[in-house]
Structure 1
């Protein structure tokens, strides 16, 4: 076992507890502990000669946590961005979505991929793990069902 590995095994649990105490978050504590050991590894030839190399690790974690808290405070001090104003969907879109919901899922997915995402029949076949002719059938049947449903709706108005 190398000197660094022995140092790591002997100090890591304590450093992790220290980092957790500073941050209050497990993910941050793990990140800062890992970063401190990465920096220690890069400087190990000099660091191992220190009287207390573990104190150096705590200093690194403290600085990382301080920077993290500072960034967090700045983000919280900024006013939240104004939400984008999104117009409500128009009636035609609502009617189309309602009509799509009446279709079997394979037809609905094929239509959405083809017309909303501009995918080719071949690409849809690959994505849906279906033969090309089956996709063509789904598209044709889906269009026919939509036309009938939407035609019925236009007669009601």
Structure 2
């Protein structure tokens, strides 16, 4: 086994460990973005595939998870753009909600998120589900902080009638 083979297997092992550590978190974010179990799997795999191709560079970044989140969001947004394909799913399978504490709330949230524009959905998921700051969300999505605040506020206003989202009390 040469030095190159050893280096490649070490990188593969590091990437595998990274996926194990971050898989659940990215999968949940993808589910909130897509609202569909199959699309979630596809989105998560596509994001990890893109990261794997550049793993040597990504593993040296300050925060590989943040990089991967950005790849996930950009992949989601690029797939949401209109395509000229006539591809239509053969059947729709409801998400497996057997392990959730309240499946009704999950279904309501997923349905409500699907009513938002893709960028608004990405802002809400990134900002509130991933608990990212306005600045981090703006950087990751390539938006200004003012745009993130405006989109988040308007998206929450649209979501409140659809799901039980408590109003924030300001000091």
* TM-score bracket relative to the smaller structure: 0.3 to 0.5
- Pick the structure with more helix per residue: 1
Q: Which structure is higher in RCO with an 8 Å CA cutoff and minimum separation 6?
A: 2
Max Rg structure:
1
